[in-house]
Amino acid sequence: MAELSYREAVAAGIAQEMERDERVVMLGEDIADAGGVFKTTVGLLERFGPRRVRDTPISEQAIVGAAMGAAMTGLIPIAEIMFSDFFAVCWDMIANEIAKARYMCAGQLTLPLVIRTANGSGSRFGAQHSQSVENWAMAVPGLKVVAPSTPADVKGLMAAAVRDPDPVIFFEHKGLFATRGEVPDGELVDRLGVARVLRPGGDITVLALAAMVPRALAAADQLARDHGISATVVDVRSLVPLDTRTILEEVTRTGRLYIVEENPRLCGWGAEIASIVAEECFYDLDGPIVRITTPHVPLPAADALEDHAVPSVERIVETVRRTAG
């Protein structure tokens, strides 16, 4: 076991796959010489050379489009879009081209590619550099979507994403880059579409993703300590494919469901899960499904405002305490 930071785990996962497979190549803004603006690709240029680790102009359509063209012709590109907010300037490539090409041509094309991006709040960058847009990606048929919360998951899911034959949107969370955790030694390959129960509890089930996971865990500790409420915490990890089996099992077991989402309220990923739970285990519920989300607003910049907008440990505890009774 080695302890890595979340940002080091990004490079470790990519390096593991580039070492294994010559077809894996990288492109993006400032990823090579600079090692990434979030320092997530440090050392990869030195290790794999400028032919495989390539800086691009500020041309998001060219970055993602070139990744698509390379994927359909024999490479496995890992494209970086620096901030997930910039998906909006290359959304045609992601949502119209990459997601649909295989379907439209009845399987003639295969697109094994990964689009990595820094998602979420915590950096006080304001409404155009702090969004959580995982629900955008989830809404488009043809994209797989993962959002790891720990260094081990970053490395293992990166490997799974690179090895998956379909396009994977890989959300790295800005607020987690500095966090550290144990990462198993040797080759690490995880599976897409598997949620993980991080903490067992008997009273309620809390679902969370990415940076909301450590908050949900901290909230669960407080709920147990201060309020006698025992919470199961599930790290959803993968939105597409979605591990509904684990989710439904855990909800059925506790009878109460809380969903902690960083994306803005409307059509957030938790809304889909709430709908599935309501359809498929309604009679196992002992109370309403409760979604704890960022309000339906653009994210403000100032620290106090951002902290107020995004679900906090305190808001999770308070919401559960008020409603779980």
Active site positions, annotated: 129
CB of residue 297 to other proteins, shortest distance in Å? 29
Based on the shown chain and the rule CB under 8 A, indicate whether residue 64 belongs to the binding site for other proteins.
Answer: yes
Which of these ranges, 59-67, 253-261, 296-304, 308-316, lies near other proteins under the rule CB under 8 A? 59-67
Pick between residue 54 and residue 180 the one whose CB is nearest to other proteins.
54
Burial class of residue 22 in the structure, from the number of CB atoms within 10 Å of its CB (0-12 exposed, 13-18 middle, 19+ buried)? exposed
CB of residue 167 to other proteins, shortest distance in Å? 10
Among the listed residues 2, 47, 226, 245, the single contact to other proteins using CB under 8 A: 245
Provide the sign of the torsion angle of the four alpha carbons 248, 271, 306, 81, taken in this order.
positive
Among the listed residues 39, 110, 139, 284, the single contact to other proteins using CB under 8 A: 110
C-alpha to C-alpha distance for 70 and 65, rounded to whole angstroms: 9
Based on the shown chain and the rule CB under 8 A, indicate whether residue 73 belongs to the binding site for other proteins.
Answer: yes
| Residue 193 Ramachandran class (φ > 0 left, ψ -120 to 50 alpha, else beta) | left
Q: Give whole-number Cα distances, 309 to 123, 302, 304, in Å.
A: 13, 11, 9
**Beta 196-199 vs 231-235: how paired, if at all?**
antiparallel
Pick between residue 6 and residue 87 the one whose CB is nearest to other proteins.
87
Q: Per residue, what are the HEC states of 158-225?
A: HHHHHHCCCCEEEEEEHHHCCCEEEECCCCCCCCCCCCEEEECCCCEEEEECCCHHHHHHHHHHHHHH
| Residues 119-158: x where in contact with other proteins by CB under 8 A, - otherwise, as a string | ----------------------xx----------------
Tokens of 317: 């505890």
Site residues for other proteins, 175-214, by CB under 8 A, read 193
Pick between residue 189 and residue 276 the one whose CB is nearest to other proteins.
276
CA dihedral 244, 250, 252, 253 (to 10 degrees): 160
CB of residue 247 to other proteins, shortest distance in Å? 9
Among the listed residues 13, 65, 151, 270, the single contact to other proteins using CB under 8 A: 65
Binding-site ranges for other proteins (CB under 8 A): 25, 51, 54, 56-57, 59, 61-75, 77, 92-93, 96-97, 101-110, 112, 141-142, 165-166, 193, 240-245, 276
